[in-house]
Structures are given as C-alpha cells and as structure tokens.
Homo-oligomer: A and B are copies of this chain.
Amino acid sequence: MSMKEKKMLMIVCDGLSDRPVKEFDRKTPLQVARKPAMDAVARHGMCGVMDVIAPGVIPGSDTAHLALFGYDPYTAYSGRGPIEAAGAGLEVRKGDVAFRCNFATVDPTLVVTDRRAGRIKSGTDELAKALSGLMIEDVEVLFKEGSEHRGALLFRGPGLDPRVTDADPHHEGKVLESRGLVPEAEKTARVLNEFVRMSHRLLDSSRVNVERKSAGLPPANIVLPRGAGGLGDLESMPSMYGTKCAAVAGVTLVKGLCRLVGMDVVDVPGATGGLDTDYKAKGDAALRALESYDLVFMNIKASDIAGHDGDFRLKVQVIENIDSMLANMLDDMHEDVVVVLTADHSTPVSVRDHSADPVPVAISGGGARIDHVKEFDEMSVASGALGRIRGRDLMPIVMGVADRAKKFGA
C-alpha cells in the first residue's frame, strides 16, 4: 500500500433501517436508540440514502451484498447454488455449475417421503464423502454437507451450463428429471440426473442409513439438488479494485458470497450470525484484519433478526449493542481509515420482512467531506452530501475517498 491509499472498514448492519412506528412516536428504531458511535461516523463524515438495488426493488441479502461490493446483481447473480457452495467451503471456479441440495428420504420408486430426511443432525459429513470425487462422464463431482439436512453440489468439467431445472420436487412426490432450458445445458441436466440416481444407490446402503433405519429414523438416501448457478462474469474484488479484502460475518449465505467475490473470510469463534453473537469478538477480529488487509467488510445479522421478529424494542437493543462494538473499534482505529456504515436492506418491524425502503449510509475518514448531518438515522442522512445513491455506486465512491480510484481520460 502506498502512503496515499487509505484502508477501508465497511460495516453492514443487516436489515438495519426501518419505517416510522406509530406507537413509538412515529420514530424508527434508529431514531430511538442511543448510538453515539454511529452518530460520530455521521458527524465526522458525509451521509446519504441508498437504493441498494434500485428504487422500489426489495433486495435479498445475496443481491444486496453483490451490489454493495460493486457488482451488477442482475448479471453477476445466477442462482443460489454457487453462493451456498462457497459458503459450505467449496471453491467455485468459472465454468463450474453449483447447486443447493437437501438430503431427503425416498421410497424404492424414488418418491420423496421426507424432503429433509427427518432433519438429520449427524452423519451427513460421512454421506458427503461418499459422493465427493465421483466422475460422471468427464465431469468431476464435489459435494459438501451443510447444516442439518443441507448440502452443496458442484460440477466441474467442459461444456457445463447452469440453465437446468431442479431435480428437487420442492414437496413430497416423485423426484424430478432435470431438463436443460437451452440446448447447451442438456449435458448438465443429464449429468445431474445421473448424479441423483447415483446418490440414491450410494447412500441407501451406507452405514449411516443402515443405522438410521434400525433406529426408526428416515434414511438420508438421496440428494435433491436445486438452484443451479454459475459464476457469470464475476471478476474478483481483489482484481477489480486492486485491494486485499477480508470479511467478518456469521451467516453462511454472506460468508459464501464473500468467498465468491474473492474475500478471505475470517473465522471468528462466537460470531454466530444470531442475536447471541459475540460483538466484541467480531469487532476485534475486524480490527486485526485491518492490519493486513486493505478492505475489511463486516456483516452483523442481529438487526435483521429483530426486524423479522417485528420487535421494536429488541431492534433498539441490537442497535445499541452494535454501537458499543463500533465505539470500541473507533477508539482503537487509525483516524485515516475510511469507515463506511450502512445496511444491506431495510427490515421494518412493521413489515417483518425485507422492504424496498432505501438504507442510510455514512462515510467518514480519508478524503470524505464533512456535511451538516449529525445523526445516523433514515431521515437525518437524507439531506447529506452523498445525496441519494445506488448500492452499486457505493464501492467506487469509497475507493475514491480512500484515494484508490482510477482516472478516466487525461
């Protein structure tokens, strides 16, 4: 890193922003919470509102993070498969096709009787090993178990195409034959169908399932893939921005996405992605990562959970917890670090789900301008110097503030 280029810390509070709630004086949780550290970022920097995808589009956590990382979510994104695969720890390369999977129970005629194999708790690592490393035609098969009945499947070989239908019937019933939606994807569908049949043959007689059957539990005797996807034109963040990037996140989906875009995911014991997450451990891990990385990204999931729960007071409490973590981090941080504070989408307690409302954003440090905004909430930030931006523009703006932008022209 040259003297001039600044380090960057990007904190995404999942589902943070909200709508006014009548019973709370028509305020949002951000307006009610005591959050001196968040306000300090706003006060020492510049603020704005952000349509993470586009005005009136409700972002998913996956598409939102792609946009926040500077990608066009409409072209970079092709199905959940690759994100789940990367989240499970498989390396996804260009040309690979990946799937999310369930371990399920089928009868001898391949009719699904339990789509989650009795929410199987253990043994899937052994089942996954039996499936990984297979060759079907000239296609290499990689498989990794996830939590409970979940797993990720990856095909690697020539001539693959993710445009195939699911083998998973999505409810009890006959296992589906996958079809190619375009002629180029026929090989992939053929290999997928063969894989599903092989998974039944290999798993049904496995030690794990023999034991499950004798214990009266539904055997995990087939794999049902869905959500086929490939990498598209995804250039890695380190290559796009010329930066070393690390991620601190608790949720598998976000971790997977971070790996997909080329971030190193820091393992933080106690970072659960839940309400019980160890905020201090996450903050400390991010600060340590800042020593050796140019850009450190943090996702804190708890605010989204409080929104989904529809619990205003809980969301206020989560915001205050995040603020305490941030206060400690700001105390120990070099003042030259560019700090970005925002959300991936709104999860209003009155909606109990993601909404299309734009999110607040504040950028301080580095070359950030200092506007008149003193508080970090949905309303205060709207008259700030950033104006109204799109999620995709955030990372270029941050690179500019960190003196890492590129010149176009003379």
Question: Which residues of A does B touch, CB under 8 Å?
Answer: 19-20, 26, 28, 46, 48-49, 53-64, 73, 77, 80, 253, 348, 350-351, 354-357, 367-372, 378-379, 382-389, 393, 395-401, 403, 405-410
Contact = CB atoms under 8 A, between A and B. Distances in A.
Contacts of A395: 56
B20 A387 contact: no
Given A80-B410, A356-B401, A382-B386, 11 more contacts: A56-B395, A56-B399, A58-B408, A60-B408, A62-B410, A63-B408, A355-B403, A357-B367, A370-B379, A371-B382, A388-B389
A385 B77 CA distance: 30
A5 B382 CA distance: 26
Nearest to A396: B56
- CB-CB nearest 8 A-B residue pairs: A56-B396, A60-B409, A356-B400, A387-B388, A63-B409, A55-B393, A382-B385, A356-B405
A305 B350 CA distance: 43
Choose among A56, A348, A385 the residue with the greatest number of B CB atoms under 10 Å from its CB: A56
Contacts of A20: 369-370
Nearest to A410: B60
B388 A367 contact: no
A386 B53 CA distance: 16
Contacts of A357: 367, 369, 400-401
Contacts of A62: 409-410
A146 to B, nearest CB: 15
A378 B48 CA distance: 14
30 contacts: A19-B367, A20-B370, A26-B370, A28-B369, A46-B382, A55-B396, A56-B395, A56-B396, A57-B396, A57-B400, A57-B406, A58-B407, A59-B407, A60-B409, A62-B409, A62-B410, A63-B408, A73-B408, A77-B409, A348-B367, A351-B367, A355-B403, A356-B396, A356-B400, A357-B369, A369-B379, A371-B382, A379-B385, A383-B383, A383-B384
